Structure 1
Amino acid sequence: MLEKELRDRVEQYSRYPPRQIRLIRDTSQFMEINADDVLELDGKYYLVRGDEFEPRFGLEGDPKFWVKKAIDLSDGSSKIIKLVFHESCYMGIGEFRIRCYRSPEKEARVLDKMRDDPSFMHGTTVMDDAGNAVRIVDRIRGPSLYTFMQSFKMDHETYFREHLPGLLRSLMECMEAIGRLHEAGEVHGDIRTDHVIIERDTQAYRWIDFDFAYEWTENPLGIDILGLGNVLLFVLGKGFYDDYDLRACGKEGLDVLSTLTESDYSLYSRQRIANLKKLFSYFSECFNQVLLRFTPGAEVFYENTEELLDDLSACEPSLSG
């Protein structure tokens, strides 16, 4: 693209066109890449609009300096550009201490393997001049599952009887997609309620953000399966509940709290109550037994999505009872 043409395109898509265009071909120093910079990647040009944010619990959250909002200057389409960033952490699951880490290469593989699957975000991976694996992702318009769930303002029983059946069916289709990912030899690595986007135009549930991997040789799919259980707990409960929530309910809540044992809490997040039957007397015993298989007291854990989906399918009729 000639310099004049590039400047014309920038002026077309920028509210305040910069006096001078800064062209970047090496994205290694992502902290120094700012709004109005132009990335040249694999012969295409992208106007940076700023950093993406990681929204959590209804808050805007912190900036993700390695993830840029951008516009493809060839057609004006909105992109998310994920630059190479390495970090690692440990999470405890029962007696296991599991290392989790960011892997741009793993996300690139998932984008390639699931490129034709409508239940996943789509994009391409290109190398910048320094050999960094840059992922250029199509933006999905719509709320996250977490945000969507905040729209249900009614009490839990009304939600459970009137809204959950349709929502559960969509969630199960979303879980089936994770099964396809596992069959392709990959894991998601960071399954959360804000990593499912409900596409506005199609209402399709789509998984995003695949750059986390983990080391758990004893249970290679384990973190993903536990993550699905955590999402299921959120959807069945219309949110998460902990001891603080029960204390806020006065004597009735304290009475329930006095009955809880370690086996009533989630293995994935030990402060979250998984035994919803103790919170809601009308809650399906069938679904409750599914949730209890994600607790420290479970004798048998789910090994794959197929087992989980089989049990959920068997529980569906209880929603119409």
Structure 2
Amino acid sequence: MEQDFRDFVLEHMPHIERRRIGGLYTDTTDFTSIGYGDVIRLADRHYMVLRDEAERRFGIEDFKFWVKRCRCLETKEPAILKLVFHEEFTQQIGSMRIRSFRSATKEARILDLVRDDPRFMHGFSARDEAGNLVRVLEVIRGKRFDEVVDALPGDHAFYFHNNLRPVLNTFIDACEAIGFLHQHGEQHGDVRRDHLWMETSTGRGRWLDFDYAYETRANPFGLDLYGLGNSLLFLVGKRIYTPHVFEGMEGSEALQPGDFSPVIRNRLVNLRRLFPYIPKPLNNVLLHFSEGAETFYDSVDEMLFELRPCLDLLPNPQEPKEGAP
């Protein structure tokens, strides 16, 4: 049987060395034991494991041992398999304590909901022989949107005049996608700027990773909104501003405690203090996520109602310069 299995793998991947072929897994419960060269059989397909996926945050690679980068032997297509990983923790957002947990069922449900929506990652779910609900995801060919923005040339003033308007256009489309989930009673659960990717072929933003869920006594979508606010803060500033970054910058001497985030208290939210050319209405959207905020947005629609008009207040790099032919 082992010999037959190895021959089967070599038939579909003739370039791999026989000695590199590992075991055949139909039960993914012990995902830490599954590594390079192993094959996962799922829904009449066989997936060769190439590596564990990793996220890079704060300059550190965080390996996700339950997420496997694979190649389907039958189709030759790349795929990402998310195996069942039970995790639960409590987040402190201001005065709120929020229970967060991973839910394979919830992510599978959203994959069905957004199957034909280009603003999200796509895939399907299937159970292995032990009943674990595995999600099989298409690989998005592109780059993290925040890395795309970070790589844009010039200082903040150049960015503001040449890139911010199209960047916010993309972000508004991504916000509408999160609003679509909320309209269907679903949370994204882990809205972060590194979970929004720009697809190379379309230039469109696509959201990843729906497996977190959370419980709040107040707004059931409040954590998603907070994540959108953090993402917007990065996009307007082209980076995050902390004392290490803004020390000595003009305007920094006037900063007040209310200008910062109520959660990450050294993170500046009131960017107009440093960049007075940022339109007040746009800065006011940011201030809803500051320590000094008197009100918080209750919905994505409410935030977008104030954010969309800000586009017309920003320079349009596509407009011809005065005097140009």
Q: Which residue of 2 aligns with 1:23?
A: 24
Q: Over aligned residues, Cα RMSD in angstroms?
A: 1.9
- After superposition, residues 28-107 of structure 1 pair within 5 angstroms as 28-57=29-58, 59=59, 61-107=61-107
Which residue among 248, 254, 260 is the counterpart of 1:259? 254
Equivalent residue letter for 2:218: E
Matches within 5 A, 1:222-241: 222-241=222-241
Q: Per the alignment, do residues 19 and 116 of structure 1 end up closer, same or farther by CA in structure 2, a change over 3 Å counting? A: closer
User: Residues 268 and 294 of structure 1 are in contact (CA less than 8 Å); yes or no, is this contact kept in structure 2?
Assistant: no
2:308 maps to 1:307: no
Give unmatched runs, 5+ long, in structure 2: 317-325
Q: Name the amino acid aligned to 1:99.
A: R
SS at match of 1:171: helix
Matched residue SS, 1:18: helix
Counterpart amino acid of 2:170?
S
Aligned partners of 1:72 and 1:78 also within 8 Å = yes
SS of equivalent to 1:31? helix
Which TM-score applies when normalising by structure 2? 0.92
Give the aligned partner of residue 206 of structure 1.
206
Does residue 317 (structure 1) correspond to residue 318 (structure 2)? The answer is no
Mapped partners of 1:284, 1:15: distance in 2? 57
SS of residue in 1 equivalent to 2:235: helix
- 1:70 aligned counterpart, secondary structure: strand
Q: 1:160 to 1:16 in 2, by over 3 A?
A: farther
Q: How many residues align?
A: 314
- Give the Cα–Cα distance (whole angstroms) in 2 for the partners of residues 206 and 5 of structure 1: 38
* 1:7 equivalent in alignment to 2:2: no
CA deviation map 1:135-189 (0-9, x unaligned)? 0000001100122122113100110111111111111011101110111110111
The equivalent of 1:132 in structure 2 is 132
Q: Deviations over 1:19-77 (max 9, x none)?
A: 654110000000000101000011110000010011114x3612110000000111111
Shift of 1:272: 1.0
CA distance in 1, matches of 2:176, 2:7: 46
- Residue 163 of structure 2 aligns to a residue whose secondary structure is helix
What is the TM-score when the length of structure 1 is the normalising length?
0.93
Q: 2:269 is matched with which residue?
A: 274
Query: What letter corresponds to residue 255 of structure 2 in structure 1?
Result: L
Larger displacement relative to structure 2 (63-72 or 297-306): 297-306
**Sequence identity percentage:** 41
Aligned-pair CA distance for 1:258: 4.0
CA distance in 1, matches of 2:157, 2:7: 59
The 3 A distance-change label for structure 1 pair 63 and 16 is: farther
Give the distance between the partners of 2:12 and 2:17, measured in 1 at CA: 9
